[in-house]
Amino acid sequence: MLRNSALDLGRREFLDLQRFPRLGELSRLPAAHQPPWADHTDLECIRAELAALPGLVGHQDIAALGAALGRVACGEAHVLHIGECAELFSMATAEHVGRRLALYRRMADHLAERTGREVVLVLRMAGQHAKPRSRPTETSPDGAEIPVYLGDAVNDLTATPQARRADPWRLLTSYDRSRDTLAHLRGSADRPVFVSHEALLKDYEEPLTRGGPRLYSAGGHLTWVGERTRNFRDWHVQWAASIVNPVGVKLGAAISRYEVIDLVHTLDPYRRPGRVSLISRLGADRTHRLGPVAQAVTASRAPVVWQCDPMHGNTRTLAGTKLRLLPDLREEITAFVRTLRAHGCHPGGLHLEVTPDPVLECHEAVATADGTACPPCDPRLNSDQALDIVDHFARLLITPSGGSI
Ligand code: PEP
Ligand code: MN
């Protein structure tokens, strides 16, 4: 729905990039994985509309998360960075938000009880609406080649060519659903909660960049750069470098010690504890790649938060259905804790895809997968599995040596 505020002001006058010359320069950098809507006639007006809307999160809460992650970086606390792979707009109800928060709290409380340490909760929520995908198209059930689902901020999950058309007006709905989600969260939270999403869509992130000389993202307390968009010269990393919010970056198995140092220098030139979270997602069979990277980061004295994402390097396909095996997840987490400890680093926390819905998308063994699970995007842990994985992490943490490698 059109809101008249920004439109009345005229399209050109309200453009965010003219208010922030630095962002204007950044905007010319290459940005991978953008939806095919650059020539859409309404795009400028949608961006102007977003730029005119109130920020979703404020300075003070961003600074509070920065301080909390600083405690994680210093080894005093842990972090659980958890939520849906792809939030659907339909999840922005009080009921669903309440159920999500209850599960995430249980996970955090369990980790805190087992370790005796503070657990910082960062929720993939209130804006986790855009997905980078490996392929641009997929085959629909009736055999047609259709555009792939790119998240509710871009197109619809329904597998028809019409529903899968990229529509930039969805960016405004993404903002609205994020605002609703935050309102529900604030209504049910008795302690601070922080929200995060992958900063993927330039046409959403730029208009929600606010502030004076020091820019910040008003779209979420933390944003992260995904594995597919982490080239440090390109828009995603350079934009993340321009904001004061804590930021994350995913590290897949192809990461080199040189790339990680470029990322850390770019994102955290002043070495602020907790400013950068390095989120490793190597795969259970590639965990040996973490050692050299951890060694390089330690030598650079960058006070990063280490997070283990055991989900994204461990996705398998069985009869056309994606699944993840819990033993793979446990193995990657075990190697994460042991490798980091061996290099004198604090295994800060976990980054997990979790849902309170009673799904069976992750399995103990291939044999129990019947190919019927149909997650909107990636396979998620259900409540019991999520608590089991957190317990596995906790058990490693309370073993003084973390075991040997
Ligand atoms: C994700 O976190 O949903 C994701 C796409 O991760 P990655 O960038 O690690 O593949
Ligand atoms: Mn995912």
**Ligand lying nearest the CA atom of residue 354:** 2
Spatial separation of the C-alpha atoms in residues 129 and 151, rounded to whole Å: 5
Q: Is the CB of 312 under 6 A from ligand 1?
A: yes
Whole-angstrom Cα distance, residue 341 to residue 397? 10
Q: Which two tokens stand for residue 254?
A: 């192809």
Per-residue 3-state assignment (H helix, E strand, C coil) for 202-269: HHHHCCCEEECCCEEECCCCEEEECHHHCCCCCHHHHHHHHECCCEEEEECCCCCHHHHHHHHHHHCC
Mean pLDDT of 279-296: 98
Is 4 strand, coil or helix? Answer: helix
- Decide whether any atom of ligand 1 lies within 6 Å of the 132 Cβ: yes
As a whole number of Å, the end-to-end CA separation of the chain is: 56
Q: Is the dihedral of CA 27, 33, 38, 44 positive or negative?
A: negative
Helix ranges restricted to H, 10-42: 16-19, 21-26
What pTM, to 2 d.p., does this model score?
0.94
Query: Residue 11: pLDDT band by 50, 70, 90 thresholds?
Result: very low
In short, whether 250's Cβ falls inside 6 Å of ligand 1 is yes
Q: Are 73 and 346 in contact (CB under 8 A)?
A: yes
pLDDT at 10: 37
**Domain 22-397 bears CATH identifier 3.20.20.70:** yes
Q: Is the pLDDT of residue 14 over 50?
A: no
227 lines ligand 1 (CB under 6 A): yes
Label residue 67 by pLDDT band (50, 70, 90). very high
Give the span between the Cα atoms of 120 and 111, in whole angstroms.
10
Q: Separation of 329 CA from ligand 2 center, angstroms? A: 14
pLDDT per position as a tens digit, 227-271? 999 999 999 999 999 999 999 999 999 999 999 999 999 999 999
Residue where the block lists tokens 């005796």: 116
Q: Is the pLDDT of residue 3 over 50?
A: no
Helices (H), 250-318: 257-267, 290-300
Ligand index nearest the alpha carbon of residue 132 = 1
- Residue 403 confidence class, pLDDT cut points 50, 70, 90: low
Q: Which candidate, 268, 265, 259, 252, places its Cα nearest to that of 351?
A: 252
Residue to mutate, 84, 150, 225, 228, ligand 1, most ligand atoms under 8 Å from C-beta: 228
Mean pLDDT computed over every residue of the chain: 93
The closest alpha carbon to 246, from 20, 63, 108, belongs to 63
**Residue closest to 125 by CA, chosen among 198, 196, 45, 19:** 196
Sign of the alpha-carbon dihedral angle for 37, 129, 273, 314: negative
Q: 81: Cβ below 6 Å to ligand 1?
A: no
CA of 30 to the centre of ligand 1 (A): 20
Contact call for residues 339 and 290 (beta carbons, < 8 A): yes
Q: Is ligand 1 within 6 A of the CB of residue 361?
A: no
Q: Which residues contact 187 (CB under 8 A, 6 or more apart)?
A: 94
Buried b or exposed e, range 199-212, using 16+ CB within 10 angstroms: bbbbbbbbbbbbee
Q: Is the pLDDT of residue 6 over 60?
A: no
Distance of CA 323 from the midpoint of ligand 1 (Å): 15
Closest by alpha carbon to 80, among 310, 283, 260, 293?
A: 310
Domain residue extents for the chain: 22-397
Give pLDDT tens digits for 304-315: 999 999 999 999
Percent of the chain with pLDDT over 70: 94
The ligand with the least distance to the CA atom of 322 is 2
- Ligand 1 centroid distance, CA of 225 (Å): 9
